[in-house]
Amino acid sequence: MSVSLPRAGAVYDRGYRPYEGERGGRGASRAALVRLSVRRALGLRRSWKQKVLPWSLLAIAAIPAVVNVGIKYVTRNTPASDFELITFRDYVGVSTTLLLFVAITAPDMMCPDRRNRVLPLIFARPLTGNDYVLAKVGALTAILFGFSFLPQVVLFVGQMLVVEEGALDFVTENAEVLWQVPAAVALFSLYLASLALAISATTARRVVGGVALLATVFVSGTVATLLVRGGGEPQSFFESGNLWGLISVIDIPLRMSDLVFLGHVDPESLVGGAAGAGIGVVLVYVATVTGSLGYLVYRYRRVE
Amino acid sequence: MASELLLRTDGLSLRYPGGTLALDELTVDVPRGSVGLVGANGAGKTTLLRLALGQLRPTAGTIEVVGRPVAEDPVGVRAHIGFMPEHDCLPPDQTAADVVATLGELAGLPPRAARQRASEVLDLVGLDEARFRPIGGFSTGMRQRTKLAQAIVADPEVVLLDEPTAGLDPIGREEMLALVGRLAGFGISALVATHLLDDVQRVCDQVVMIDGGKLRHTGATQALLHRTGAVRVQVDDGAARLADLLGVAGVDVTVVDDATLDVRVDGDEGRVLDLVRDGADDLGLALHALTTRRGSLDELFLDG
């Protein structure tokens, strides 16, 4: 019996094959832009060096939650079981450790496209400047939300599992947290993402964008502290020095967090302890976010 | 919405905010195929491409690309167009495979299909070996081929190529022209904007010639070349008398010297040659040589 074997080593000229598969519309292009922005920010499909920073910061941001849960576990049957290293509201403040991540990621999402003149290629696809802005803001907001929210989940679930009174009682006692945490974290993430991307959009150089963001945060915070603490005890919000507390860029989302958790601004804060502080914080928050988004839309209204 | 036309403009004008009139009532119908859009620097070629992409709005008039009015859906029309800009626009830190796949996703292809298509088109343009190398290490020719690959990755109906041979050495230029010449065979119409008329003469079957934003000439390349062809006639002394005789018959003649004249061929070459032969015979001049000299688009452009 003879067996005919296929000939090996044949060369085929495949030439050009038209694409006949699925095609998404404009929505698919928008979704792709968000996906690609998230991928870039998290270092996915990039070298390991690009992955170190985001994932290290996520781990660092989760440390207080893990420690708090550990303490709860160790002290669960002792008088010290009520000790709390950190509260859910305080944990929103821990998210400010992500500032370094944002200072690196936001310019990395915006500047290379302009510096390498990739924008004409992007806007030759079914995408507009508004799509571009929404995709970038959406991607960074989603990442910040995830990185801020996950440690809160660790804190909540960890405590739920180790507390003496049982999981159900813990959930019942902390039911409000279930909406307060995501709301506060979402407000924080949107604010920081909008501001960081707007600052990054002013330059084509990543390092300038990152330094500009950090300088804005630290200079505004330092100036606000000097002005407020030099103003004596607060009487009314506008007449005392508390008004200057509003210029501290990083304080605004934290005071919004106060409003979500407490219903009022923390009295110990720069703008706290005087009437009208809450309204002032909300106005500055809205102005910063809308101003940042407005600038981004203006900046990308036309392709260069 | 299949159309036999690649491009249709009607009274298309664009005046930039600074007052520069880039296009001035351009009205032209361009059939599908390989079309050369030629003109000097600043003639309005890139402006016309950006109007076709919906990135600019005309001051007056209309423009359709493959039967789709750009004004009705300036973003949606881009789903059918590939674009290769003139300038360098590729991120140097990414591989060709990543860039082309990314831009395929932004054109609406699913991620897996985009990567597959990127691999195929990079293979097609001769970058199969280099596709996983960072673009920063590419030669100008490789970058140009990567730009062409991203333009066709989503299998568009038409590609707009802005100066595709700019900056290439003779070998790179030959390779690029060969690729552009193959596009029509793939079912992709090409609008090639260039100031290098020789490129158009070699790969385009249609020509649109603009100058100062106005249409100078349009038509099939071969027909336009015939308009600029000439026959060099060498006779005994008496070229001036033959020129007079041919002039009476309506033939455009230039006397080079006493024994040589150039006869312009405008359309029917056989008729002109017959007139030369009969004229020489009538005047009793010995006809020593008849040399057909093919015209060029450069002459057509310079003649106006």
Specify the pLDDT at position B66. Answer: 92
Q: What is the pLDDT of residue B35?
A: 95
Please check the confidence at residue B83 and state whether its pLDDT lies above 80.
Answer: yes
Q: Can you tell me the distance from the alpha carbon of B189 to that of B191, in angstroms, rounded to the nearest whole number?
A: 7
What pLDDT does residue B179 have? 92
- Mean pLDDT on A70-82: 76
Single out the residue in B221, B244, B277 at which a domain terminates.
B221
Answer yes or no: do B115 and B98 share one domain: yes
Q: Provide, as residue numbers in chain B, all residues whose Cβ is less than 8 Å from the Cβ of A302.
A: 55
User: Do both B282 and B299 map to the same domain?
Assistant: yes
Closest CA–CA distance from residue A124 to any residue of chain B (Å)? 6
B157 touches chain A (CB under 8 A): no
The pLDDT value recorded for residue B228 is 65
| Predicted local distance difference test score (pLDDT) of residue A258 | 92
Residues of B in contact with A125 (CB under 8 A): 78-79, 103, 106-108
| Residue that terminates a domain, selected from B169, B195, B221 | B221
**B154 in contact with chain A, both atoms CB, cutoff 8 A:** yes
Together in a domain, B190 and B270: no
Handedness of CA B17, B23, B25, B31 (dihedral sign): negative
Task: State percent of chain B over pLDDT 70.
Answer: 93
Cα angle: B41, vertex B46, B49; to 5 degrees: 150
Per the prediction, chain A carries an average pLDDT of 86
Token pair, residue B177, equals 């022209």
pLDDT confidence tier of residue A46, bands split at 50, 70 and 90:
confident
- Taking all residues of chain B, what is their mean pLDDT, rounded to a whole number? 89
pLDDT at A279: 92
Contact B100, A121 (CB under 8 A): no
Sign of the C-alpha dihedral computed for residues B102, B108, B111 and B116 taken in this order:
negative
Kindly list the residues from chain B whose CB atom is less than 8 angstroms away from the CB atom of residue A45: 98
- pLDDT at residue number A213: 96
Quick one: pLDDT at residue B22?
92
Residue A82: is its pLDDT beyond 90?
no
Burial class (CB in 10 A: 0-12, 13-18, 19+), B239: buried
Q: Where are chain A's structural domains?
A: 26-299
Same domain, B147 and B31: yes
Averaged pLDDT for residues A41-61: 81
Residue A269 pLDDT class (50, 70, 90 cuts): confident
What mean pLDDT do residues B181-210 have? 90
- Global pTM reads 0.82
Among A121-125, A144-148, A154-158, B264-268, the range scoring the smallest mean pLDDT is B264-268
- Tell which wins on pLDDT, A240 or B145: B145
Give the per-residue pLDDT at A9. Answer: 55
- Last-in-domain residue among B221, B249, B282: B221
Indicate the burial class of B281 (C-beta count within 10 angstroms; 0-12, 13-18, 19 or more). Answer: exposed
pLDDT for position A148: 87
Looking at the structure, tell me whether residues B9 and B118 fall in a common domain. Answer: yes
The three-state secondary structure class of B261 is strand
Which pLDDT value is given to residue B224?
Answer: 72
pLDDT at A161: 85
Mean pLDDT of B3-7: 88
A127 near B CB under 8 A: yes
Does A74 contact B at CB distance below 8 Å?
no
What does the pLDDT average to over A92-99? Answer: 76
* The two three-digit tokens of residue A282, written as one number: 């909300």
List the single range of A86-95, A287-296, B275-284 with lowest mean pLDDT.
A86-95
Helices (H) and strands (E) in chain B, counts: 10, 14
Q: Which of B107, B111, B179 is nearest to B142 (CA)?
A: B179
What's the mean pLDDT in B186-215?
Answer: 90
Domain count, chain B: 2
The predicted pLDDT at position A166 comes to 80
For testing contact with chain A, the best of B47, B89, B103, B106 (most A CBs within 10 A): B106
pLDDT beyond 80 at A96:
no
pLDDT at position B299: 64
Judged by DSSP in three states, B91 sits in coil
Of B78, B93, B120, the CB nearest to A125: B78
* DSSP 8-state symbol, B105: H
Write the ipTM. 0.80
pLDDT per position as a tens digit, B34-76: 999 998 888 899 999 999 999 999 999 999 999 999 999 888 8
pLDDT at A35 over 80: yes
pLDDT of residue A127 exceeding 90, the answer is yes
State residue B69's pLDDT score.
Answer: 95
Based on the fold, state whether residues B91 and B215 are members of the same structural domain: yes
Q: From CA B69, how far away is CA B9, in angstroms rounded?
A: 10
Q: List the CATH number of the domain containing B293.
A: 3.30.70.980
pLDDT higher than threshold 90 for residue B267: no
What residues have CB less than 8 Å from B80, skipping those under 6 apart? Answer: B65, B66, B68, B156, B157, B158
A126 close contact with B: CB closer than 8 A: yes
Tell whether the model's pLDDT for residue A53 goes beyond 90.
no
Question: Is the pLDDT reported for residue A256 higher than 80?
Answer: yes
Which residue in chain A is spatially nearest to B103 when comparing CA positions? A122
Query: Considering only CB atoms, which chain B residues are within 8 Å of A18?
Result: 155, 186-187
Task: Give the domain range for residue B39.
Answer: 5-221
Q: B165 and B274: one domain?
A: no
End-to-end alpha carbon distance in chain B: 36
pLDDT confidence bin for B10, thresholds 50/70/90 = very high
Lowest mean pLDDT among A74-83, A185-194, A229-238, B190-199: A229-238
- Predicted local distance difference test score (pLDDT) of residue B294: 63
